[in-house]
């Protein structure tokens, strides 16, 4: 009579550990250890090779995880570009590995079990199995036969287990992609020179970019108490709740609203805009609750433009960019001349050259063009998360 691994307690423990390792890489050595004992596979190894970067993204053995190419030990299998072998293959000469031959690529879940069984019957794990291969990554498993169970028994167990490794590897790659995308998106929001917050109806903050965090930390009227945005002034608290209630309960443009409030001591009035936030795709967990996005204007600067942006876009000189930014902020020609220690005539010459370079003909056209540009902080772009933006001014009224 044949074995029924699906009824085996060790099998279920192994499968649970495989999917747990897809969510937490730190759990993978334990999963490999269970896999080794259940399938009688010696030195099981798991490798993610980044084709675009040309190095290992992750290497795992029962003894630990290696999270970059520098830390991956040389005895882990590495993809090689050999004729007939494709881009991924266990290299010849590694410990417990035979000569390199083409590996099996698992194409989809439906045919995985049969294809793997056929492959394992003739070659085993020694030559490596591609769990995933696409234009970006190759996910490879390899190992050796320990010989503590019969060959037929080992093949049947591998045929039942390997499809779970394939699905778990796909889950893992998807998580990596989403994590990377989220990190890049949040980094982009941190370059904005105004505050962005995502809040729930109870004013609980689910996300805040760098400027919003700095604003709350420096402001004498706002604070975060156990993750909840709180205004010390009852009037401001009522305004925030009204804006948020209208956004989370409404939909469409009519639900968006704003207020022009003094929320920083001694600073300029800060515009607060709240708009509904609805995902294009279904979300789970706490993100299922109605949420809204709150935007806080920057009271520190007269304009959110960056001189480096204007230089890059239009080829303006540093001085021309600064004058253009002051012009867009509403300063007069004489004010600009006084602030920049220039004569009014020199300011006019700079404005004339700026009009020519930007393809505009009047100052009003130039100002309208500048107001269409996104406000970003180039110095903050690419900075580490430990670098904080300058805090809004705080002082006595």
Topology of the domain covering 307-372: Arc Repressor Mutant, subunit A (1.10.10)
Upper half-sphere CA count for residue 179 (Cβ side, 13 Å): 8
Distance CA 33, CA 14 (A): 9
| Res 76: pLDDT | 54
Distance CA 187, CA 306 (A): 17
Tell me the pLDDT of the chain (397 aa) as tens digits: 445 555 578 999 999 999 999 999 999 999 999 999 999 998 899 999 888 888 888 899 888 888 765 666 665 555 543 223 343 333 333 333 333 333 333 444 445 444 444 444 434 476 678 899 999 989 999 888 887 888 888 888 998 999 999 999 999 999 999 898 888 888 888 888 788 999 988 889 999 998 888 888 877 788 888 899 988 888 888 888 888 888 877 655 556 677 766 666 556 677 888 888 877 777 676 666 778 888 887 655 544 567 777 888 899 999 999 999 889 888 899 999 999 999 999 999 999 999 999 999 999 999 888 887 766 555 555 443 333 334 433 333 3
User: Degrees (nearest 5) of the Cα angle 202, 205, 206?
Assistant: 115
| Res 304: pLDDT | 52
> How many residues are listed for the chain in this entry?
397
Residue intervals of the chain classified under CATH 3.30.450 are 5-186
257 alpha carbon, distance to own chain's centre = 29
| Res 330: pLDDT | 86
Distance CA 268, CA 358 (A): 30
User: Residue 83 class from Cβ within 10 Å (0-12 exposed, 13-18 middle, 19+ buried)?
Assistant: exposed
| Res 362: pLDDT | 93
Residues in CB range of 373: below 8 A, 6 or more apart: 305, 309, 310, 313
User: Residue 258 class from Cβ within 10 Å (0-12 exposed, 13-18 middle, 19+ buried)?
Assistant: middle
CATH of segment(s) 5-186:
3.30.450
Is residue 69 within 8 A of residue 87, CB to CB? The reply is: no
Upper half-sphere CA count for residue 89 (Cβ side, 13 Å): 17
User: Which pLDDT tens digit goes with each residue over 347-377?
Assistant: 999 999 999 999 999 999 998 888 877 665 5
| Res 75: pLDDT | 54
Distance CA 274, CA 270 (A): 13
Q: Are strands 270-277 and 291-296 parallel, antiparallel or unpaired?
A: antiparallel
Dihedral, CA of residue 262, residue 264, residue 269 and residue 270, to nearest 10:
-100
Dihedral, CA of residue 188, residue 192, residue 195 and residue 201, to nearest 10:
-40
User: Residue 197 class from Cβ within 10 Å (0-12 exposed, 13-18 middle, 19+ buried)?
Assistant: buried
| Res 118: pLDDT | 45
| Res 257: pLDDT | 72
Is residue 237 within 8 A of residue 261, CB to CB? The reply is: no
- 205-208 sheet: strands from edge to edge: 205-208, 195-200, 291-296, 270-277, 257-261
Q: With the C-alpha atoms ordered 229, 303, 258, 232, is the resulting torsion angle positive or negative? A: positive
| Res 299: pLDDT | 56
Residues in CB range of 166: below 8 A, 6 or more apart: 106, 109, 112, 131, 132
Q: How far is CA 250 from CA 18, 273, 295, in A?
A: 43, 15, 17
SS3 state at 195 = strand
Distance CA 221, CA 271 (A): 15
Residue intervals of the chain classified under CATH 1.10.10.10 are 307-372
User: Which pLDDT tens digit goes with each residue over 318-339?
Assistant: 999 999 988 988 889 999 999 9
């Amino acid at each position: 009579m044949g074995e029924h691994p699906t009824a085996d307690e060790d099998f279920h423990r192994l499968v649970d550990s495989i999917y747990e390792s897809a969510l937490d890489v730190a759990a993978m050595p334990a999963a490999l250890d269970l896999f080794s004992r259940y399938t009688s596979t010696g030195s099981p190894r798991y490798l993610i090779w980044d084709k675009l970067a040309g190095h290992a993204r992750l290497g795992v053995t029962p003894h630990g995880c290696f999270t970059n190419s520098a830390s991956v030990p040389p005895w882990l299998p590495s993809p090689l570009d050999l004729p007939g072998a494709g881009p991924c293959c266990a290299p010849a000469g590694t410990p417990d590995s035979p000569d390199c031959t083409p590996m099996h690529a698992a194409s989809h879940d439906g045919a995985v079990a049969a294809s793997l069984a056929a492959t394992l019957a003739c070659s085993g794990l020694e030559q490596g199995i591609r769990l995933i291969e696409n234009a970006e990554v190759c996910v490879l498993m390899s190992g050796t036969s320990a010989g503590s169970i019969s060959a037929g028994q080992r093949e049947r167990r591998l045929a039942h287990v390997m499809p779970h490794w394939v699905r778990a590897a796909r889950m893992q790659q998807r998580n990596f992609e989403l994590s990377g995308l989220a990190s890049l998106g949040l980094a982009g929001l941190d370059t904005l020179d105004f505050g962005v917050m995502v809040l729930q109806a109870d004013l609980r903050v689910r996300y805040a970019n760098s400027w919003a965090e700095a604003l709350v930390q420096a402001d004498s009227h706002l604070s975060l108490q156990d993750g909840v945005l709180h205004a010390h002034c009852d009037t401001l608290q009522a305004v925030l709740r009204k804006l948020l209630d209208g956004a989370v309960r409404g939909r469409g443009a009519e639900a968006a609203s704003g207020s022009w409030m003094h929320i920083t001591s001694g600073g300029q009035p800060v515009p607060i805009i709240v708009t509904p936030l609805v995902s294009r795709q279904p979300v789970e967990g706490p993100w299922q609750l109605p949420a809204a996005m709150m935007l806080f204007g920057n009271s520190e600067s007269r304009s959110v433009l960056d001189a480096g942006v204007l230089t890059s876009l239009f080829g303006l000189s540093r001085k021309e960019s600064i004058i253009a930014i002051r012009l867009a902020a509403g300063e007069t020609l004489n004010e600009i001349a006084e602030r920049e220690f220039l004569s009014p005539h020199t300011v006019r010459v700079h404005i004339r050259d700026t009009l020519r370079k930007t393809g505009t003909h009047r100052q009003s056209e130039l100002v309208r063009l500048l107001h269409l540009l996104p406000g970003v902080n180039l110095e903050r772009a690419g900075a580490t998360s430990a670098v904080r933006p300058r805090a809004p001014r705080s002082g006595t009224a």
